[in-house]
């Protein structure tokens, strides 16, 4: 079985939409008979990024 790691970054202005995005991606993976082994919502970065580069990240480890 192949293992995949998916990371997506979202602009802070769109942070309210992150749960819906995670749900849609999860449904697409499980709908294709994939399995989600781990889901981490990293939230906004703690420090170190200039205002122009801010984002919210989520990591998911999948297997298909």
Mean pLDDT in each 10-residue stretch from start to end of the chain (64 residues)?
Answer: 82 84 92 90 67 56 58
Residue with tokens 């997506």: 8
> Distance between the two ends of the chain, CA-based, in angstroms?
6
What is the rounded CA–CA span in Å between residue 3 and residue 19?
23
Query: Where do the domains of the chain lie?
Result: 2-45+53-63
The model's pTM is 0.61
Query: Phi/psi zone of residue 48: left (φ > 0), alpha (ψ -120 to 50 degrees), beta?
Result: left
Per-residue pLDDT, 15: 79
DSSP assigned state of 15: G
């Amino acid at each position: 079985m192949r293992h995949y790691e998916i990371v997506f970054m979202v602009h802070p202005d769109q942070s309210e939409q992150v749960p819906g995005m995670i749900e849609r991606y999860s449904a697409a993976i499980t709908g294709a008979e994939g399995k989600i082994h781990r889901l981490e919502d990293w939230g906004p970065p703690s420090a170190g990024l200039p205002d122009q580069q801010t984002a919210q990240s989520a990591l998911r480890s999948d297997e298909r």
